[in-house]
Amino acid sequence: MLVLIKLCSILILLIGVQSNPDRRKNYSQLKSCDIGPLAEEIASYESVVKNIINYVVNGPFKGKTYDELSKFVDTFGARPSGSQILEDSIDYMIQLTKDEDINDIVTEELEVPHWMRGKEEITMIEPRIKNIDLLGLGQSVSTPSEGITAEVIVVNNFEELAEIPNEVVEGKIVLYDPIFTTYGETVVYRSQGAVRAAEKGAVASLVRSIAPFSINSPHTGSQNYNNNVKKIPTAAISIEDADLMRRLFNRGQKIILNITMTSTSETKTSRNTLIDLKGTLNPEKLVIVSGHIDSWDVGQGAMDDGGGLFVSWAVPVILKQLNMKPKRTIRSIFWTAEELGLIGAYAYEEKHRNESHNINFIMESDEGTFAPRGLAVGGSQKARCIIAEILKLFESINASTLVEEDSPGSDISVLIKTGIPGASLHNANEKYFWFHHTEGDTMNVESPEELDLCAAFWTAVAYIIADISADIPR
């Protein structure tokens, strides 16, 4: 789940990150930051930061995050919402944590969707016979058993679709062909495309995969139906096949496809997992680190979000091994059912709403765990100033950048919009969307060295925020 902009030095810096479609990154100099004596207090944690980094990057914890992640991914692979394998993976993480002599673990049950794709085929019938690779989008309805055979209309955007008379769209398949700019700008064609097409009378919708790069690899993802609009089958196709159909369409050639898709959908029970390292002075106050444990059914969920899951698991483990106990409680949360709509996060916010005043700061890694560069921070200007001061301690690993965002993260955006300050991991993920929601999300995209840096950075930042004298202001 979510938006990083990187434009290659300013052109590859335009590859967003994950999950939250409304995110905008604004690199700010944070002018007028004056946090008084707190700056000197934060500076005193320099040796703490060095010790944690050394322990993880060069010491006894070196390679452990990668090793544990690889065992987890190799054991379970994909972990779709509502599946038994997801629940087995939750049990595994609980036992793995207990093996580290951390036993303050709670799970909270909730109802989650369990959508399973079945047969998925697209055949181009005209102007020539060709198989088209596809991935149905989350919760897509099925086609009739004989499939849907219809002509294709190719559009760049919703505005172009709106200008086409309904009678021209009726009975057709709409293919959205937006050029990837940022994830936040482009993902709307995946999430809203089926409804917009159905409103015009289309019988199915397709979307060019929301990605800047492809090796004929479709990218799946969540989409949202409207109960007041007929639900039509919807799928993503590869960039290459979208480009092919665009060329044919622009030449005035008729494109006819047969689409066959089947799926099932039901409700199951899953769990959020909460692991606490209790604070010594204010245990009721929380600094939360988190990642989601579920994944799509394609790939192995190594990058999205196995890496984020394991760097958040590592925080209490590393601090326990170092016998470091902050003043506030550090809570690691493994969110469930993120991919089908932040279901675990919404359930947590509702269940803990009366205690939300005790959340001092909330963090999430769901944008890759490549080399850390800093944090994308949401909250008040004073909150950002404090976090910016903390990030100065990470210049040695090139992780001192603060990115201002109104809604960082995917799951944590549910809590941040209630006024809780928080941050997502800002990392060198220029290639994140090459593999996002595809079969390519495997351990091959992960690096032991970069995971070490992320785990050390995540742990040290969480510890400082949980230990300094001042709460992060709202």
Catalytic residues: 338
- Per DSSP (E only), the strands in 177-300 are 204-208, 234-237, 256-277, 282-292
**What is the H or E stretch that residue 112 is in?**
strand 105-126
Q: Are 318 and 52 in contact (CB under 8 A)?
A: yes
Q: Are 232 and 141 in contact (CB under 8 A)?
A: yes
Angle in degrees, CA 129, 134, 135, rounded to 5:
160
Residue carrying structure tokens 């609009």: 229
- Distance between CA atoms of residues 133 and 240, nearest Å: 10
| Alpha-carbon dihedral sign for residues 103, 94, 291, 451 | positive
Closest CA to 429 of 462, 391, 467, 403: 403
For residue 380, how far is the Cα from the chain centroid?
23
- Per DSSP (E only), the strands in 164-323 are 173-176, 204-208, 234-237, 256-277, 282-292
